[in-house]
A and B are shown apart, each in its own frame.
Chain A
Amino acid sequence: EVPLLESGGGLVQPGGSLRLSCAASGFTFTTYAMTWVRQAPGKGLEWVSTITDNHGPTYYADSVKGRFTISSDNSQSTLYLQMNSLRAEDTAVYYCAKEWEGSFDPWGQGTLVTVSS
């Protein structure tokens, strides 16, 4: 059983939209904050967004604020990231991760988003 499984990545034109999903299993989804982290090709990790447990407050990196929206469906144990007004610099592998004891564990396998014309 894979604890976190992302989907929804792909090729999109600049200015376009994409919705990523992260299906969770093996833990009580509602009791943990969940986070999206991205990694541009050949670059380091960048925190993108967090939703606290039980549909609580949401947080965004300045680089995506106003364009990305994080949400969750507790009945489906699924995390989402709606990405609008996509830019070339949003090209990255997007990972979802469970927040645990002030860290991220586990991580999904990642889904690649490519923004290009």
Chain B
Amino acid sequence: QSALTQPASVSGSPGQSITISCTGTSSDVGTYNLVSWYQQHPGKAPKLMIYEVSKRPSGVSNRFSGSKSGNTASLTISGLQAEDEVDYYCCSYGGSRTRWVFGGGTKLTVL
């Protein structure tokens, strides 16, 4: 049950776009379109931002978008704002045995 691989940190300037990658294997990200992304503020519970690779829950800004190619999923945040400066985690379904696997998390810095 190896974790998905995310960069430890990414940064961007206000108004710019950034992309966070999430690399798994053919047993999880590569096979299932059940990749989700979570935003987590310090000391708070994670919040769902993207589900099923690219779908946005009601209430989530359209500045957040998701995609997938092969074994790698990506979260793109456009029009960076200071309030986006928190941690982001990806998650993928891993099959009937593994069930779910998370990425190690990425800290976004808005310069």
Binding site for B on A (CB under 8 A): 35, 37, 44-47, 50, 59, 61-63, 95, 100-110
Whether A101 pairs with B52 at a CB distance below 8 angstroms is: yes
Whether B45 pairs with A44 at a CB distance below 8 angstroms is: no
Secondary structure class of chain A's binding surface, majority of residues: strand
Whether A103 pairs with B36 at a CB distance below 8 angstroms is: yes
CB distance from B4 to the nearest CB of A (A): 10
Whether A44 pairs with B51 at a CB distance below 8 angstroms is: no
A-B contact count (CB 8 A): 65
A-B contact pairs, 20 of them (CB 8 A): A35-B100, A37-B102, A46-B102, A47-B101, A47-B102, A59-B96, A61-B1, A102-B32, A102-B34, A103-B34, A103-B36, A103-B48, A103-B52, A103-B91, A104-B36, A104-B46, A105-B57, A106-B45, A107-B45, A108-B45
Binding site for A on B (CB under 8 A): 1, 3, 32-34, 36, 38, 40, 45-48, 51-52, 55, 57, 89, 91, 93, 96-97, 99-105
> How many Å lie between the Cα of A46 and that of B38 in the bound state?
13
By beta carbon, the residue of chain A nearest B48 is A105
> How many Å lie between the Cα of A100 and that of B36 in the bound state?
11
CB distance from A113 to the nearest CB of B (A): 15
> How many Å lie between the Cα of A109 and that of B40 in the bound state?
12
**Cβ contact of B99, chosen from A46, A50, A95, A105, cutoff 8 A:** A50
Whether B100 pairs with A109 at a CB distance below 8 angstroms is: no
Inter-chain contacts of B52 with A (CB < 8 A): 101-103
CB distance from B108 to the nearest CB of A (A): 14
Whether A45 pairs with B1 at a CB distance below 8 angstroms is: no
Query: Assuming the A-B contacts A44-B89, A46-B102, A59-B99, are A95 and B51 also in contact, with contact meaning beta carbons closer than 8 angstroms in the complex?
Result: no
Give 5 closest A-B pairs by Cβ, nearest first. A102-B34, A103-B36, A103-B51, A47-B100, A107-B45
Inter-chain contacts of A110 with B (CB < 8 A): 45
Inter-chain contacts of A37 with B (CB < 8 A): 46, 102
